[in-house]
Structure 1
Amino acid sequence: MTNDSLAQASDLAIWGAIVVLVPAMLAFLVHLASSGAAAQRRVERREPVAVGAGGPSVAAGTADLDLGAADAGPAKPAGSSRRWGVIGLQLTFLATFLTVAGTVLRGVSVGRAPLGNMYEFALVTASFALVIYSGWSLRKDRLWLGAFVTLPVLVILGAAKVAWYTEASQLMPALNSIWLIIHVTIAILSTALFTIGAALATAYLLRDRAETRGRVRGWIAALPEAARLERITYGIHIVAFPLWTFTLIAGAIWAEQAWGRYWGWDPKEVWTFIIWVVYAAYLHARATSSWSTRRATWVALVGFGCVIFNYVGVNLLMTGLHSYSGVAT
């Protein structure tokens, strides 16, 4: 039995989250631009002293020394630049509450975990990503990461409402299993971590390119130094990869219970394994001295591309035993 009032409340909460995330992302972008400009001005004021003393030039890393600090990231900007970041973070907290509330209301409206179709998968993914970022920001200064997280979450929620929306309904009989909660929840958590990992990887590649060219300017100067960004990127993937490994194993166990075999070369199974192989290759490349961290990070982004295809392409373009998108095609 579906509670239409709760389902409508869920829809309103998700729309509210989308509306709030837009100014949050804009505030984070203003924060990056203004704090980057402030950092550049500090570097320019110090440059004559550094050159006159025979110290390193801007191209050699003066900007990095100025911006780098502990793992918390770049030095905290003062004044209006930081204020914009705080505004973005506060709006993100509100959007996180609305997204989680909308997801919970969706599940309560149908009396089950909200894991039955693409729309619900997207809601839970966005919820996990926002909760992870919000919790992380409470422990460390991660204002510089806000725009890189709110943008993909906006895309996920926007696509969920516009292209993947499914009316609240009961589960298909094939999905009525405890393994739905175990397998799909861990898969979603992994996807959220891979999303944040891809955001960090993008930030690292942009900063690394600027440092290599000796032109750490504009909003790029607001990011932590490239080496620190790369370490954080690697750390996120170190957490996400075992979870995806569990997703693959749990899926095989569920398949044996539901269909009498552990593996059947279904498109979803194949692409889940491809994702595992690509991320394993990233972690191996990262630990291999003959591979640069930049090249290894590109492998991680290829892995995230596979995650996107597995979710969108496989669900909408391919048919198989995992055809539970709920989207009319």
Structure 2
Amino acid sequence: MTASDWADFANVLFVGCIILYALAMFGFALEYSFGKRAEEPVEAKEMATVGGAEEKPNPSSETPSVPITPNGASRAGFVGLVMTHIATIALLASIVVRTAASGRWPWGNMFEFTIGMALVGMITWLILVARDQVARRHSLFATFAVTITLGLSVRVYTEAGPIEPALDSYWIAIHVSAAVIASGIFLVGFVFAVMHLMKRRYDRLISDGKSPGFLIKLAKDMADSERLERLTFKMHVLAFPLWTFSILAGSLWAHLAWGRYWAWDPKEVWAFIAWVIYAAYLHSRVSGKGTRMWAPWLAIIGFAVVLFNLSAVNLIFPGLHSYAGV
């Protein structure tokens, strides 16, 4: 096979993974909407007698967990999970084959960065699914996010080919890889932050006796808002040092390439703005209850800045990074 044939095969794998993610999302939607859920076991409390003596709980009085017989929607969710694994493998294979076709490190343009971010996000999510049932219950929202991300990446598709001479350095494997990994984990943190705010809003409306709208009503069967908030925090604690390292590595690369560590290039500036926002999120999260209420909004704004830096800065603002194209 020629390099062109390998590049075409990478495109086939890429299109296939988008289709699989979309089908998986549909399966998760069926499960989320119509699937049965097991109830938590409730243990009988000790009861006091009239004389004040306590009786030991009767084992037979315990309410066992309700066995769940999988229905069609539950099976659809299982199929969706299988498809998610296959789609992630297909996406990884697409990147590997594209790398072989181009003969370079696979982060040379906006398209490759975006699909790398999506891959890291889904690998992170699948690891969470294996460790935490909360992530498994919310796979609909993760697959929706990655399907949209991959779908939009087609808008800036770039043929596999040689890298720009200015990017032909081992630093691309250090600086850009760290940014890709951090962005993928930030993507997962963004999903949890949105779900947390939706659930928090749903709980507030219900406690006030109000009827939630359609979008907020989706949060009815979500996990507890505090649990979602903790998962949001964990993702950002993991990604923030990687984003910091990416900025520092980029500064070292800039010194070698341009003779200065910082040039106030738009890409550098917006990467630093994202760093400041994420630092503010982490500070707000641990500073107290008052500021903690606003922390999820900072997480969402931070990821919006990351996307702005990835898209608008690449496409609109001229700068030292403009040679990378899209």
Given the two structures, how large is their TM-score scaled by the length of structure 2?
Answer: 0.84
* Aligned counterpart, 1:146: 139
Following superposition, the deviation at residue 126 of structure 1 comes to 1.6
Q: 1:76 to 1:278 in 2, by over 3 A?
A: farther
Instruction: Give the letter for the 1:131 counterpart.
Output: I
Say which of 77, 82, 94 aligns to 1:90: 82
CA displacement, residues 110-168 of structure 1 (integer Å, 9 cap, x when unaligned): 1111111111111211211122212222233222221221112112211222x111111
Pairing of 1:179-218 with structure 2 (within 5 A): 179-214=171-206
* Aligned counterpart, 1:258: 257
Q: 1:42 to 1:239 in 2, by over 3 A?
A: closer
* Aligned counterpart, 2:230: 231
Following superposition, the deviation at residue 195 of structure 1 comes to 0.5
Check whether the contact 1:118–1:326 (CA below 8 A) recurs between aligned residues.
Answer: yes
> Mean Cα displacement is larger for which, 23-32 or 267-276?
23-32
* Aligned counterpart, 1:278: 277
> Mean Cα displacement is larger for which, 119-128 or 280-289?
119-128
Is 1:169 aligned to 2:161, yes or no?
Answer: yes
* Aligned counterpart, 1:9: 9
Following superposition, the deviation at residue 34 of structure 1 comes to 1.9
CA distance in 1, matches of 2:309, 2:78: 35
Q: 1:318 to 1:23 in 2, by over 3 A?
A: same
* Aligned counterpart, 1:79: 70
Check whether the contact 1:230–1:293 (CA below 8 A) recurs between aligned residues.
Answer: no
Q: 1:290 to 1:130 in 2, by over 3 A?
A: closer
* Aligned counterpart, 2:292: 293
* Aligned counterpart, 2:309: 310
Given the two structures, how large is their TM-score scaled by the length of structure 1?
Answer: 0.83
CA distance in 1, matches of 2:217, 2:151: 29
* Aligned counterpart, 1:28: 28
Give unpaired runs (5+ residues) of structure 2.
43-65
> Mean Cα displacement is larger for which, 219-228 or 77-86?
77-86
SS of 1:287's equivalent?
A: helix
Give the root-mean-square deviation of aligned CA atoms.
2.3
* Aligned counterpart, 1:116: 108
Q: 1:92 to 1:313 in 2, by over 3 A?
A: same
Percent identity between the aligned chains? 37
Larger Rg computed on CA atoms? 2
CA distance in 1, matches of 2:322, 2:143: 29
CA distance in 2, matches of 1:290, 1:90: 40
Aligned length in residues = 292
> Mean Cα displacement is larger for which, 126-135 or 246-255?
126-135
* Aligned counterpart, 1:58: none
* Aligned counterpart, 1:67: none
